[in-house]
Structure 1
Amino acid sequence: MLMVSCASEENLPTATVKLAVVVTSNVFDVKSDGAVVNANVSEESTAPVTNRGVCWSTATEPTVGSNAKSDGENGGGSFSETITGLVPNTNYYVRAFAENKAGVSYGNQIAFKTHLVTPPVTDIDGNVYETIQIGSQLWMKENLKTTRYCNGDEIPNVTGNNWFSLTSGAWRYYDNRSENNAVYGKLYNWYAATDARNVCPCDWHLPTREEWLALINHVGYNGGKLKSVTGWNGPNTGATNETGFTGLPGGFRGSSNLLFYFGTEGGWWKNHVNDEAFVLTSFSDGLGNVVLGKTTGASIRCIKN
């Protein structure tokens, strides 16, 4: 007589159950007290994943026995987890994990460092800006919004077609929409950006070509480390904002009175006679340098004296 029996999943021998395959994809949006981790779990086993998340520590190879956070979901697939409560200016190690009947499996380890806490800066109009230490430089992590120079003199708001013929400082909102100001700041022509009265908050200044180059060298020519992970149109290639610079695509007011690249490109004036700007784009994790023309409207970031 032939006898056949079937075992339920719960009764399968442990040896037939494989650990889930886990990948810690990247760490982005690092702050002074937290970061976001992307991960992926592949259920390449005979048992489902019942728990998944990330674990972190100041020591290498963190485990669920140290600091761990589950994402509240079962099964495989991609997920993101925000970790908080970290200590500023500290090195951390993080890796994703997944659990099934075979045990807990871990992804690759990624190291990151939380940002130093730096004081905000206030401009002549009372706008308050967050700041970020990147290497030896202290930067504003927001685009400039002021309507006055450091000495209190007004910067004219020019909205008409005479913008093209200006030979003195002016500012405008992209597409004359004031709602763009909160996130993207204002657009300034080269004359305003480089005026001796100083468009930046007092004790801060428009970065020189050499100061921009120092920033570029610090990130290894990787523009993704300078781009905000939000506020861009897709694909926002390579954006991690690892430095906290939070570059945003404020677009341009062209010398020919055209508006272009809002949402896909950001350009920031350099303090240079050749009306140069530093540029980031949604379609690349690279970075560039362009000559815009003195009547072009572009964004401004300031650096501490």
Structure 2
Amino acid sequence: MIDKITLVDAVNNKNYEFAANMILNATKKSESKIGSFTDPRDGRTYKTVEIGNQVWMAKNLNYDAGEGTYCYDDKISNCAKYGKLYTWEAAKRAVPKGWHLPSKSEFEQMLKFIGEDREGAYSELTKTSDCSFHVLFGGCRDRYGPYNYLGGIANFWSSSESDTDHALNLTVYSVTRSAYLKRDSKGDGFSIRCVKD
């Protein structure tokens, strides 16, 4: 098994050694496949990206699932840019056929593939290249009504409940440059990134 890879700079007569797993991980990330999905319910098209062996939407869902579906500050222009915000119950209704809300373990699998720590995951999730998850900081809606943190935070619902009133979500926070799973009230309004069945 290869432990180290040495790169030789013949011009400057220098050698650079890297851990083999660093090179292999970087190669795996760069090989992500991109595609698209058109939602037959409303005709909207979403970029998709393959991360590891999972296929994710690379854009926040913007489907109107009725009650529990919101645009940040109730402005349609925010939905056009950031997608809609959903309560957990609305999120379960909003997902198109052939896709689903990611479970806790599916989020963990994706995070493990792109970066072992919170900051490493943040850097990968917020890249804007074609082959990235490309987080949009769409803010959130508190269950009591106020909208908060547009441009500063992104929360993505998972299908996993932590108890009767709470479910887990992937939180990506620009101030601390971190990405992590946490629990919040099912009545809060968060974004959705679907994963393919």
| TM-score category (smaller protein) | 0.7 to 0.9
Give the superposition deviation at 1:119.
2.7
Shift of the 257–243 alpha-carbon distance from structure 1 to 2, 3 Å rule, reads same
Question: Contact (CA 8 Å) 1:251, 1:260: kept in 2 or not?
Answer: yes
Partner of 1:245: 133
Name structure 2 gaps, 5 residues minimum: 1-6
Paired AA for residue 53 in structure 2: S
Larger radius of gyration: 1
- Pick the structure with more helix per residue: 2
2:3 corresponds in structure 1 to none
Deviation at 1:289, TM superposition (A): 2.2
What TM-score do the two structures reach when normalised by structure 1? 0.51
Matched pairs, number: 173
**CA–CA distance in 2 between the matches of 1:134 and 1:188?**
24
* Pick aligned residue for 1:206 from 101, 112, 130: 101
Match of 2:178, SS?
coil
What are structure 1's unaligned runs of at least 5 residues?
1-59, 64-102, 148-154, 157-168, 230-240
| Alpha-carbon shift at residue 179 of structure 1 (Å) | 1.1
- Partner of residue 193 from structure 1, selected from 78, 82, 91: 91
* Inter-CA distance 292–62: structure 2 relative to 1 (3 Å threshold): same
Matched, 1:129 2:46: yes
Structure possessing the higher relative contact order (Cα contacts under 8 Å, 6 or more residues apart): 2
Q: Is the 8 A contact 1:226 1:243 kept in 2?
A: no
Check the 8 A contact 1:187/1:298 in 2, yes or no: yes
Percent identity (aligned): 28
Q: Aligned partner of 1:185: which letter?
A: G
Shift of 1:255: 1.1
- Structure that is richer in strand per residue: 2
Q: 1:269 aligns with which of 154, 157, 164?
A: 157
CA RMSD of aligned residues (A): 2.7
Q: Does 1:288 align with 2:180?
A: yes
Is the alpha carbon distance of 1:284 and 1:142 closer, same or farther for their aligned partners in structure 2, counting shifts above 3 Å?
same
Secondary structure of the 1:139 match is strand
Task: Sort the Cα spacing of 1:243 and 1:285 in 2 relative to 1 into closer, same or farther, 3 A.
Answer: farther
CA-to-aligned-CA distance 1:157-211 (integer Å, 9 cap, x gap): xxxxxxxxxxxx421100011112233111011111124xxx2221111101110
CA distance in 1, matches of 2:176, 2:135: 13
TM-score of the superposed pair, with normalisation by structure 2: 0.77
